[in-house]
Amino acid sequence: MKEVQDHWFKLAKEEGYRSRAAYKLIDIDDRRRVLRRGARVLDAGAAPGSWSQVAAARIGHKGVVFAVDLTAMDGGLPENVHRLQADLREITLEDVGGEPFDAVLSDMAPKTTGDPTGDHFQSVRLCDDLLDQMPAWLRRGGNLVMKVFEGENYPALVKRAARMFEEAKGYKPRASRAESVEMFIVCTGFNGKNGRVPHQSDAILPKRRPSKGWGTPSAQD
């Protein structure tokens, strides 16, 4: 296992990428072509910036990347990368150029706590929050790649994504450590929907008169 880590780490150093994570996006894009030349791309959870480096090169100088992260990113990224230090859940489309994206990439991950179940729920929450933004942020036909920590709510998340895209499938890139619970959901062909299934308690049920024995008796009872 160490050898694999060393391989991607060394390669990233040699090739000038800010982290070994670059090879996860390269692998995903080589297989699924989520990045097209001239595209507008949102890179969510972008620091230190290796996905932005990869995306900027693949979309070319006519494309643009908006790189957002809670933590500050060093300068020196390609010219077509705009950096923003912010919580992705607290910004609007206006903060990232004001026009819908052709592709959204999310390598966002919660700070791990040592509680795998709690970390999983936090990770799925981040993904659901991101999916909620898609109708406003992603153009129809656009693509999304998002990282999630696998766990019991993973299948429901993939199902939600499948309602929103022509295709949504989990993929484990070669550069992802085998022992890591991270998976990448690769979604292509956005259909403009939100994909949430309303919770049963959200449903508007026909109003019924309270039956006897419930609450305060009224004059009718």
Ligand X SMILES: C[S@@+](CC[C@H](N)C(=O)[O-])C[C@H]1O[C@@H](n2cnc3c(N)ncnc32)[C@H](O)[C@@H]1O
| Positions in 182-211 near ligand X (CB under 6 A) | none
Q: Does 23 bind ligand X (CB under 6 A)?
A: no
Give the Cα separation of 71 and 83 in Å (integer): 11
Residue 211 CB, shortest distance to ligand X, in Å, is 46
Spot the catalytic one: 10, 24, 62, 147. 147
Give the Cα separation of 71 and 46 in Å (integer): 9
- Cα 47 vs. chain centroid, distance in angstroms? 14
User: Which secondary-structure segment (H or E) carries 83?
Assistant: strand 81-85
User: Which of these segments, 64-72, 115-123, 198-206, 208-216, binds ligand X (CB under 6 A)?
Assistant: 64-72
Phi, psi of 139 (to 5 degrees): -75, 160
Cα dihedral sign, 116-121-127-130: negative
C-beta closer to ligand X: residue 48 or 135: 48
Which one of residues 3, 71, 200, 220 is an interface residue with ligand X (CB under 6 A)? 71
Q: Does 145 bind ligand X (CB under 6 A)?
A: no
- Contact residues for ligand X, defined by CB under 6 A: 18-19, 21-22, 45-51, 68-71, 87-89, 107-109
